[in-house]
């Protein structure tokens, strides 16, 4: 544990690497855009599309730094904010410039924490139903404070790993349609639309790419639809900020 903390404290800023990935995609004639824009305009096209998704688990200011890089390059992306990371000025700036800004929900995990649900056997169908109803209320609250949602994405909390039940398991897809939500990102019917689905990892995993391998390799191979998931906390770091992030992660998982 001490070695892991040491590695995290000395984690370096990696935004230059992120910028190089985007430049490489542009050089290879990729359209780089948000999930919402991809679904509405490129889902059934023959164009090469790099879909950018950011899960803002802890670091809204880091998300803003990634946004500024993308804005400078003239591209768009999707940012999913948890309630605990929502930053109205940042979110409104992103939205004003055509980015998708949406909800990174954790309704089942929140219910479990509040009601001391600690194992999979306790997660009844009634708890699943109630968690989804709570999500419906969250969607309505978000839309009343900000704007209409088009896509949503579940957060992977430590509690979900303990329960062995993901937040996306609560989704009732017919109800999402009634709410005029296009999709939840973890819908299997959406995931299978990507020729390559790639996720970053933390310094504890040496920043290895998960699920498919390097995005540059996928781009070189000319895959038509690449979804790249990144977490700002793995990219925009400094010595002081690393201490802050360690504390936030510890507090969130305690």
pLDDT at residue 6 tops 70: no
Average pLDDT over all residues of the chain? 92
- Is the Cβ–Cβ distance between 134 and 110 less than 8 Å? yes
CB contact burial 73-108 (16+ within 10 A = b; e otherwise): eebbbbbbbbeebbeeebbebbeeeebbbbbbbbbb
pLDDT at residue 240 tops 70: no
Q: What is the DSSP letter of 13?
A: P
Q: Which residue in 202, 254, 169 sits closest to 14, CA to CA?
A: 202
Specify the pLDDT at position 203.
78
Which residues lie closer than 8 Å to 86 by C-beta, 6 or more apart?
60
Give the mean model confidence (pLDDT) for residues 149-161: 94
pLDDT at residue 250 tops 70: no
State the pLDDT confidence band at 207, using cuts at 50, 70 and 90.
Answer: confident
Specify the pLDDT at position 218.
97
pLDDT at residue 145 tops 90: yes
Give the mean model confidence (pLDDT) for residues 9-17: 83
Lowest mean pLDDT among 12-16, 159-163, 203-207: 203-207
State the pLDDT confidence band at 243, using cuts at 50, 70 and 90.
Answer: low
Tokens of 78: 């999707």
Longest pairwise C-alpha distance within the chain: 51
State the pLDDT confidence band at 129, using cuts at 50, 70 and 90.
Answer: very high
- Is the Cβ–Cβ distance between 218 and 210 less than 8 Å? no
- What span, in angstroms and rounded, lies between the C-alpha atoms of 200 and 5? 19
- Is the Cβ–Cβ distance between 67 and 17 less than 8 Å? no
Q: Which CATH class is domain 2-253?
A: alpha beta
């Amino acid at each position: 544990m001490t070695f892991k903390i040491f590695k995290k404290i000395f984690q370096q800023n990696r935004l230059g690497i992120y910028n190089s990935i985007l430049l490489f995609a542009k050089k290879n004639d990729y359209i780089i855009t948000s999930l919402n824009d991809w679904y509405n305009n490129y889902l059934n096209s023959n164009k090469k599309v790099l879909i950018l998704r950011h899960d803002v688990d802890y670091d809204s200011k880091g998300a803003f730094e990634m946004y500024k890089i993308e804005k400078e390059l003239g591209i768009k992306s999707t940012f999913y904010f948890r309630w605990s990371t929502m930053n109205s000025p940042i979110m409104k700036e992103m939205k004003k410039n055509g980015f998708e800004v949406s909800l990174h929900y954790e309704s089942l995990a929140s219910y479990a924490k509040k009601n001391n649900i600690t194992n999979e056997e306790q997660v009844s169908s009634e708890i699943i139903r109630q968690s989804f109803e709570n999500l419906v209320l969250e969607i309505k609250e978000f839309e009343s404070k900000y704007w209409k949602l088009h896509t949503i994405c579940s957060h992977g909390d430590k509690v979900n790993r303990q329960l062995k039940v993901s937040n996306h398991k609560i989704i009732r897809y017919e109800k999402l349609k009634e709410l005029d939500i296009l999709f939840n990102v973890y819908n299997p019917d959406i995931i299978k639309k990507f020729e390559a689905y790639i996720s970053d990892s933390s310094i504890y995993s040496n920043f290895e790419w998960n699920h498919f391998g390097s995005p540059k390799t996928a781009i070189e191979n000319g895959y038509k639809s690449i979804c790249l998931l990144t977490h700002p906390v793995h990219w925009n770091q400094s010595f002081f900020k690393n201490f802050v992030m360690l504390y936030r992660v510890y507090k969130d998982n305690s």
